[in-house]
């Protein structure tokens, strides 16, 4: 059987395709795809799956800089991960590196060492480029000084 295969999911689940790098595949370099990717072998380099999901299988070993919509880690990953939606580190997963993502899920028993930056959608700017907060006059901003009393020091 070919260790690098491409599969289509059932018609009921849409037209999602997934490429599999099998257990005996060792690949170094730059890889980009317009479909989901499952790595059961070894990969070192750069992965670009901007609109798709990367899964590092239980036997997968990856050292890479990754850009994906979502990443699911069941094996070993070392590197930087930028995932728009979510990074999941499953119980058998081992991740050492930096994450920039919309959400993170780390199962009990998983290993993670690194930093996490949670990405938020930036609010759309008005046509003039001014945000609603900066449109308020400076006098409307709350003061950190002690409140003033018009009645003076009445006791």
> What integer pLDDT is reported at residue 60 of this predicted model?
97
> What integer pLDDT is reported at residue 127 of this predicted model?
52
**For residue range 39-92, what is the model confidence (pLDDT) as tens digits?**
999 999 999 999 999 999 999 999 999 999 999 999 999 999 999 999 999 999
Question: CB under 8 Å to 120, separation ≥6 — which residues?
Answer: 102
In a domain, 88, yes or no: yes
- The whole-angstrom separation of Cα 52 and Cα 34 is 7
- The whole-angstrom separation of Cα 50 and Cα 69 is 6
**Structural domain containing residue 97:** 18-118
Closest CA to 66 of 42, 46, 89: 46
> What integer pLDDT is reported at residue 121 of this predicted model?
77
In a domain, 8, yes or no: no
In a domain, 131, yes or no: no
> What integer pLDDT is reported at residue 59 of this predicted model?
97
> What integer pLDDT is reported at residue 125 of this predicted model?
60
> Residue 82's beta-bridge partner residues?
67, 100
Alpha-carbon separation of residue 144 from 3, 61, 141, 148 (angstroms) = 65, 53, 10, 11
Which one has a higher pLDDT value, 66 or 139? 66
In a domain, 155, yes or no: no
* Domain count within the chain: 1
> What integer pLDDT is reported at residue 69 of this predicted model?
96
In a domain, 3, yes or no: no
In a domain, 70, yes or no: yes
In a domain, 138, yes or no: no
In a domain, 80, yes or no: yes
- pLDDT of 123 > 50? The answer is yes
Reduce the DSSP state of residue 112 to 3 states and report it. strand
Which one has a higher pLDDT value, 72 or 5? 72
């Amino acid at each position: 059987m070919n260790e690098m295969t491409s599969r289509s999911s059932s018609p009921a689940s849409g037209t999602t395709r997934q490429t599999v790098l099998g257990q005996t595949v060792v690949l170094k370099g730059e890889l980009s795809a317009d479909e989901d990717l499952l790595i059961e072998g070894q990969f070192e380099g750069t992965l670009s799956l901007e609109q798709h999901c990367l899964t590092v299988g239980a036997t997968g070993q990856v050292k890479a800089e990754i850009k994906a919509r979502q990443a699911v880690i069941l094996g070993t990953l070392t590197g930087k991960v930028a995932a728009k939606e979510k990074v999941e580190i499953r119980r058998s997963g081992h991740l050492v590196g930096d994450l920039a993502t919309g959400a993170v899920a780390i199962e009990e028993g998983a290993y993670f060492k690194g930093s996490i930056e949670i990405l938020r959608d930036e609010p759309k700017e008005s046509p003039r480029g001014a945000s609603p907060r900066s449109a308020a006059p400076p006098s409307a901003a709350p003061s950190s000084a002690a409140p003033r009393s018009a009645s003076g020091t009445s006791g």
